Amino acid sequence: MSDQISIPELTRKDFPLLNKEGEIKNNLIYLDHAATSQKPKQVINALVNYYSYQNANVHRGAHQLSAIATQKFENARQVTSKFIGSNSAKEIVFTRNATEAINLVAFSWGNTFIKENDEILISLMEHHSNIVPWQLLSKKIGCKIKFIGITKNGELDLEDAYKKLTDKTKLISILYTSNTLGCCNPIKKLTEMAHNVGAHILVDACQTLAHQKINVSELGIDFLAGSSHKLCGPTGCGFLWSKEDILEQMPPFLGGGEMIQDVGKYESSWADLPHKFEAGTPAIGEAIGMAEAMKYLENIGLEKIKNYENKLINYLFNKLITIKGIKILGPKPIVDKNRAPLVTFNIEGLHSNDIAEMLDASNICIRSGHHCCQLIHKYYQINSSARASLSFTSTVEEIDIFTKTLIDSIKFLKDNS
């Protein structure tokens, strides 16, 4: 690991909370990056600068301040387009988050192109944001949802996907990286499978965008949903990407100001892409901050981040498997194979909330609960789990402290149960 230590050494100084400038100053160890990432000062400064010196509504004003805000906002769209390798900034629709992006596809594209008895294929490992919208659509129009299973190793069962894919399948909607199992799904193979039966594919990339490079053109997918707060950007902002010809065919998701061309008494016409999907005043400062976060990640180098985090998760995994009574969900990390930098686990005889509370008493932040993935927990016949998730700012020293404190906490809880 010594050759890679320079990454956190170079970056931690940019994160106020990790520099103990926040309210908690006693050696905080933040291992909850999969829930939300910390924000570097470059992102925070971009937000402060916008609200301090550039604050105006976009697109509507003739005055110079509005022109500046519009330029910054639309530049954020250009940055986002480049970050994921799309062909045009017109293919980037800003949303409140990835959940809204998936809902946009469900209730715009889905309502238009999916019919009764058509099929949508998703997996058991999906986040609730990629399950509930399809359930709502299914109840509304009578389409059917099928679930791809998982293997004994905790990875997507590709053979099961082949079996469940039919000429009735209109959409595969799947996460790129599981926030619970940590596995990375074979998106190129799934895309090929979908297109072979005339189906589209939507990829939830929330747990991937901050950890490895994604190029939508190379993947050949049809939709991608992303979230700012998972990639060191502000909360309340995300985006949908889709091919321009697909977006042109889709009706607006929300109606109101900003998304119109002309409004009459009984009919209206829509603005050009991507604005017909962005009703009302957008999260301007947040979009600018998200773009700054993307530039920050690219300045570090996503390939460098991936390689460092891959070694770090192997180190964490190998420390945890020595703990008596631990059960880890998902596949074992393999050097040079993509896997999310997280470990989800249970300790025999202990509740995950008790473990998290004990660690919190030592200023170590992990996640406990079902992580918005109840189907996976039902599959494993457990109610909850604990999850430690890393980033490029995490260190070997933090992992050592975490695992030692975890072992001490387990002993204390068992001795006092």
Active-site positions read: 372
- Rounded CA gap, 314 and 373, in Å? 24
Q: What distance lies between CA 331 and its chain's CA centroid?
A: 20
Q: Give 228: exposed, middle or buried? Use CB within 10 Å, 0-12, 13-18, 19+.
A: buried
Residue showing tokens 């926030």:
179
Residues, the chain: 417
- Rounded CA gap, 146 and 164, in Å? 7
Task: Find the helix or strand (DSSP H, E) in which 201 lies.
Answer: strand 200-204
- The pairing of strands 260-263 and 119-123 is unpaired
Residue showing tokens 């309210």:
23
Is 254 within 8 Å of 268 (Cβ atoms)? no
Is 262 within 8 Å of 201 (Cβ atoms)? no
Q: Give 198: exposed, middle or buried? Use CB within 10 Å, 0-12, 13-18, 19+.
A: exposed
Sign of CA dihedral 62, 64, 70, 71: positive
φ, ψ (nearest 5 deg) of residue 342: -145, 155
Is 112 within 8 Å of 246 (Cβ atoms)? no
- The pairing of strands 342-347 and 385-389 is antiparallel
